Amino acid sequence: MVVPALAGDLRTDLMAIAHAFRIAALSSHREAAVLVLSRPVESLENLAPLEVTLAAFMGAGAEPEWAVHAVRTTLAYMTGTLLREASAGLTLGADDPEIAGPREATLVETGLPHVALAAPYLSRLDHAREFDFGIKILIDAFVRQLEQLSSSKRQR
């Protein structure tokens, strides 16, 4: 993984780290992503992304314990999302229109009203967009919680 330099803005830094992680995890054969994402972190080289991520959180005011929880939450999200992308597991959607079209029709025909309404979106899947959607929600939650923690410290 090419570890990005920190810009000093938590949102910017976490997005850059997440994108670098995604690129590294999927850079070789998709089948190898399972191995890459599931092997233990043991070398100093593999700790560089951890160091920069902890630095981003702590630079934004996080205490070390909180930063570790945030890193683990982020890593769980990214790993799960990337494993799904690499192995195409547990998803109704496809990025191939020839597959997505018939899936949409099948979903519409289920008789389930909410599934039918969502069928155009459930049947199509843009992995990069899905990854960004989730990571942005996590980052927003982290920023809000850090702001709340900072505010309650100031009130003491």
Q: What is the DSSP letter of 122?
A: H
Q: Hey, where are the domains in the chain? A: 10-90+126-155, 92-125
The residue length of the chain stands at 156
Residue percentage of the chain with pLDDT more than 70: 85
| CATH classification (class only), 10-90+126-155 | mainly alpha
What is the model's pLDDT at position 30?
65
pTM: 0.84
CA angle 67, 51, 133 (to 5 degrees): 60
Asked if residue 54 lies in contact with residue 4, where contact means CB atoms within 8 angstroms, the answer is no
What is the model's pLDDT at position 46?
76
Question: Model confidence over 48-93: pLDDT tens digits?
Answer: 889 999 999 999 999 999 999 999 999 999 988 888 888 765 566 6
Closest CA to 17 of 66, 50, 58: 50
Asked if residue 88 lies in contact with residue 96, where contact means CB atoms within 8 angstroms, the answer is no
Asked if residue 1 lies in contact with residue 33, where contact means CB atoms within 8 angstroms, the answer is no
